[in-house]
Structure 1
């Protein structure tokens, strides 16, 4: 009985794992992690020095202000927001926008089926009436 339950559970687990959604999610997580490393490198290597050249300070983590001996470290938050915005912009312009353009092009290429002509519509109505009549 225990072996049968274990076998059944393993079969269910295998079916769950092999469903398309789970595999797609796993691939997305791995690619997302790799993509995050690329974007972080882009931010640290190119964007931050560019901001430093314009603003004079490459790392905003040290930015803070004090009120009544309470220190507010807003620089690290600013760095995180900047990274988030850059990641979002890169994903939008290099992933979402091209995919939307590709989907629009595919939709444009496949013409929508034409509406049935009047005689075809009448024939369809006659067919439906004949199918629904009592015998």
Structure 2
């Protein structure tokens, strides 16, 4: 048996041509574009809503853990906790997760459930047909056995 040795280039080409690699690449590109939309919503809608109660920019919310947190000679005196940045990133994540769930995951899971139910119904109908054929064959067998048996008795 001689095995054909696959070159590295051919193997790499086969890897790239797999469907899941292409799907992943498309998902990354769509995700990057979608991130820009979500960031625009956060900066254009969420931040102004938060700004109605405080500052428009979430990044400016902070607390001073130690010291006065004032700029002295170009350096910050104290330890500043930038919790506004964390809040902005959290809001961006929650909006992204919500949109992905309701626009992608939920419809896809409903579609797959309907498809599985339809396939199960087709399989169920096929089993009923097969059981019916099996029952007919059993009846034919029983009739043949009955005919042979009645022929021997006479």
Establish whether TM, by shorter chain, passes 0.5: yes
TM-superposition CA deviations, 1:95-125 (whole Å, max 9, x none) = 111212222232333315224538739x8xx
Higher Rg: 2
Q: Is the 8 A contact 2:50 2:56 kept in 1?
A: yes
Q: Give 1:11 deviation, angstroms.
A: 1.1
Number of the residue aligned with 1:45: 44
SS of 2:113 mapped into structure 1? helix
**Match for residue 117 of structure 1 among 94, 111, 131:** 131
* Aligned-pair Cα RMSD in Å: 2.5
**Match for residue 95 of structure 2 among 59, 83, 86:** 86
Q: Is the 8 A contact 2:58 2:88 kept in 1?
A: yes
Q: Give 1:48 deviation, angstroms.
A: 2.2
For structure 1, the 5+ residue unaligned runs are 124-135
Number of the residue aligned with 1:132: none
Number of the residue aligned with 1:9: 8
Number of the residue aligned with 1:24: 23
SS of 1:57 mapped into structure 2? coil
For structure 2, the 5+ residue unaligned runs are 68-78, 138-154
Aligned length, in residue pairs: 116
TM-superposition CA deviations, 1:8-38 (whole Å, max 9, x none) = 2211111111111211111111111111111
Number of the residue aligned with 2:71: none
Between the aligned partners of 1:72 and 1:13, the Cα distance in structure 2 is 47
